[in-house]
Structure 1
Amino acid sequence: MKVAIINYGIGNLGSVQRSVEEIGADAYIANHPSMLYDANRIILPGVGAFSEGITRLEEGGWADSLRDLVSNHQKPIMGICLGMQLLASTGEEGGQFSGLGFIPGSVVKLDAIGCTLKIPHVGWNSVHKVQEDFLLKEIPDESDFYFVHSYGMVVEHRHHLLATVSYGCDIAAIVRHKNIFGCQFHPEKSSKAGRKLLKNFMEYVPC
């Protein structure tokens, strides 16, 4: 299993690579879009603002390659933290920007969703399953994962929402549309439950 971790300049690459290697996959850092084509799985990490993230993906040629591989060839992808947000249709951080458009929805500040607690949302929180999915196999409901974010995704279609986290309101924690997965938390920093989620993603077989 070859896993490409996208290096577009704003990702927590080392810890993601180590976590993937610990579950037995062959993880490598992809420094150019051409390096994605030999991979069985793609991980899009990210830390920072939506505006900078999508600009780097578009200007670096990543966006075009991802749209080809993910949409046309159904290659499985997982977005982590900002990487999940970039899967959406639009984002409001740093202005109004179009995202990759893989999962219909928008990324807005947490208080616009209804959050009344301190922003950013930082720390361990329980994740509540909204529906069963292969990605969540053998992960108990209300398992704890580690979050760091000020914005969240509001999905357009409820069936794309796999799990939520409660932080003054319900926030999308895990999303999925066919071969496209996203988690708002950091699985690579989330101990046993995070490793299991990554393992499930590696074992997912596209229909």
Structure 2
Amino acid sequence: MITIVDYGLGNLRSVQKSFERSNINVRISSDLKVIKNSQKLVLPGVGHFGKGMNNLKTTGILDVLNEKVLVQKTPILGICLGMQLMTKFSEESNSDGIGWIDAKTIRFEKDETKKFKVPHIGWNSVNIINNNNLLNKIENNSQYYFVHTYCVYCNNNDDIMTESEYGVKFHSSFRRENIFGVQFHPEKSFSVGIQMFKNFSNL
């Protein structure tokens, strides 16, 4: 069973529906017992980094996630804000993140030419840097849908899964052991997004 973690932020239902289109059994829950008994976890998110971290801590979900992810090595997929929360620090709230990945989350620089508007909204290609099973049957430079003002930079090259460019290059996904994060929205990316969810369910 895959559990989509409800920590008070995020587009939970659209993620759930995307999994269900592939007949993948998922549920949305904030119940600590349910999360503890899950075989795989998804941490989605749309909203403020500081609010997300506060919600994870005050609900007790963060303690459960640390046990599941770091000790039991349960596969987890962070989407958009969910990916950013896995980093060590974010400029959005000038606060620490979960810290599973040695990376930082920073704001896109202002583009004086106005060519690259912030937030970054729309389709963009992802260049595969380090392939793995989450990218099975997904071609290099496939187009995914993005909506974000802040982007992630990994300090360890081995953690970088894909790279994208929007005025500047940034790391659009990462992976360390059982921890996966994607800045884009697979649930809004049609067939390539559904394929990614299928791959995650088969890990």
TM-score, length of structure 2 as denominator length: 0.95
Q: Does 1:103 align with 2:94?
A: no
Q: Counterpart in 2 of 1:44?
A: 43
Alpha-carbon shift at residue 137 of structure 1 (Å):
1.1
Alpha-carbon shift at residue 105 of structure 1 (Å):
1.0
SS at match of 2:143: strand
Q: Please, which moves more after superposition, 24-33 or 7-16?
A: 24-33
Q: How does 1:146-161 map to 2 (within 5 A)?
A: 146-161=145-160
Pairs aligned (count)? 200
Q: Distance in 1 between matches of 2:7 and 2:72?
A: 22
Is the Cα–Cα contact under 8 Å of residues 187 and 198 in structure 1 kept in the other structure?
Answer: yes
Q: Does 1:58 align with 2:77?
A: no
Q: How does 1:1-207 map to 2 (within 5 A)?
A: 2-94=1-93, 96-111=94-109, 117-204=116-203
Q: Which runs of 5+ in 2 are unaligned?
A: none
Q: CA RMSD in A?
A: 1.4
- Paired AA for residue 127 in structure 1: V
TM-score, length of structure 1 as denominator length: 0.93
Q: Which runs of 5+ in 1 are unaligned?
A: none
SS at match of 2:88: strand
Q: Distance in 2 between matches of 1:3 and 1:139?
A: 21
Q: Distance in 2 between matches of 1:173 and 1:14?
A: 23
Alpha-carbon shift at residue 31 of structure 1 (Å):
2.0
Alpha-carbon shift at residue 116 of structure 1 (Å):
7.3
- Paired AA for residue 106 in structure 1: K
Deviations 1:33-90 (A, max 9, x none): 2211221110000001111111111111111110000000000000000000001111
- Paired AA for residue 132 in structure 2: D
Q: Distance in 2 between matches of 1:116 and 1:191?
A: 26
Alpha-carbon shift at residue 165 of structure 1 (Å):
1.1
SS at match of 2:137: coil
How many percent identity over aligned positions?
Answer: 37
Is the Cα–Cα contact under 8 Å of residues 116 and 169 in structure 1 kept in the other structure?
Answer: no
Deviations 1:123-156 (A, max 9, x none): 0111111122111111011111000000011111
Q: Distance in 2 between matches of 1:97 and 1:42?
A: 24
Alpha-carbon shift at residue 20 of structure 1 (Å):
1.2
The runs of 4+ residues in structure 1 deviating greater than 6 Å are: none
Q: Please, which moves more after superposition, 194-203 or 20-29?
A: 20-29
Q: Distance in 2 between matches of 1:44 and 1:162?
A: 18
Alpha-carbon shift at residue 164 of structure 1 (Å):
1.0
Relative to 1, partners in 2 of residues 1:116 and 1:104: Cα closer, same or farther, differing over 3 Å? farther
SS at match of 1:88: coil
Q: Distance in 2 between matches of 1:40 and 1:23?
A: 18
SS at match of 1:102: coil
Q: Distance in 2 between matches of 1:33 and 1:189?
A: 28
